[in-house]
Chain A
Amino acid sequence: NAGVTQTPKFQVLKTGQSMTLQCAQDMNHEYMSWYRQDPGMGLRLIHYSVGAGITDQGEVPNGYNVSRSTTEDFPLRLLSAAPSQTSVYFCASKEQNRGLRTEAFFGQGTRLTVV
C-alpha cells in the first residue's frame, strides 16, 4: 500500500545548488501534480501532468522544472535554489476521467530549506 512516495523527506540546500525532488505513485494514476505549502498560504500548484509526456504550469512555476517520462514518476527539479524556495513540497496523484468526485492522494511531503 505505498500510494504516493516522496523522497527525500528533508533536505537542506545552499543558494544556487540544484536538486531533484522525487515522486512516485503505484496506483497507475495518469494525473500528477506538485504543490508547495507555506505558512498562511495554503497549497499552491507548481506544475501538473495529465499523462506521460504532458506537463503544464500551475500558479507558481518559476524556478522549477518537471518532466513525465513514465506514468509512475513525476520529479520536480530546482535549477538554482533560492531562499524563497524554502517550503514543504507535496506531490499528489489522482485518477483521470473518473468524474468530479475523484480523490487526490498526497505524499508525505519534502521539507526543503535553502540557506
Chain B
Amino acid sequence: TQLLEQSPQFLSIQEGENLTVYCNSSSVFSSLQWYRQEPGEGPVLLVTVVTGGEVKKLKRLTFQFGDARKDSSLHITAAQTGDTGLYLCAGAMGSGNTPLVFGKGTRLSVIA
C-alpha cells in the first residue's frame, strides 16, 4: 500500500505552460516535503510545509499543504526546460526524527 499517491506519474508539456502535480494520502502527516531529482543524482529538497493550509512560493513554484495535512500540491507557472526532472513528495508522520515516506514521483518533461 502506497501511503503517498502522486499524480500524474508522467507529464509532458510545452515551455510556457502551467502545471500542477498532486500528492495525496488518507493519512495525516506532520510535515511534507517536495524534492527534485535529476538523472544520475540524488533528490534535492525544494520546500517543506508543516502547517495545514500553508502556502510557500519558490520563484515560479507554488507549494500548498492541505488544511487536513493529508495532501499537497506543486504548481509551476510558465514552465521552462530547466524544470524537467523527477518531482518527489515525501512525508513524515511523527517528529523530525521519523523516516520519510516517499511517493512514486512525477516525471516532468518540458519541451521547448
Contacts and interface: CB of A to CB of B under 8 A. Distances in A.
Contacts of B99: 33, 45, 48, 58
B96 A97 contact: yes
Interface string A22-41: 00000000010101000011
Nearest to B100: A104
B45 A42 contact: no
Interface string B32-61: 010000001111110010100000000000
Contact of A40 (B95, B97, B104): B104
Query: Chain B, interface size: which category?
Result: 20 to 34
Contacts of A101: 31, 48, 50, 96
Which among B41, B42, B45, B102 has the greatest number of chain A C-beta atoms within 10 A?
Answer: B42
B96 A90 contact: no
A106 B36 CA distance: 11
27 contacts: A40-B9, A40-B104, A42-B103, A42-B105, A43-B90, A44-B102, A45-B99, A45-B100, A90-B42, A96-B96, A96-B97, A97-B95, A98-B96, A99-B96, A100-B30, A100-B31, A100-B48, A100-B50, A101-B31, A101-B48, A102-B48, A103-B45, A104-B45, A106-B43, A107-B42, A108-B40, A109-B41
The 3 closest A-B pairs by CB, nearest first: A106-B42, A42-B104, A100-B31
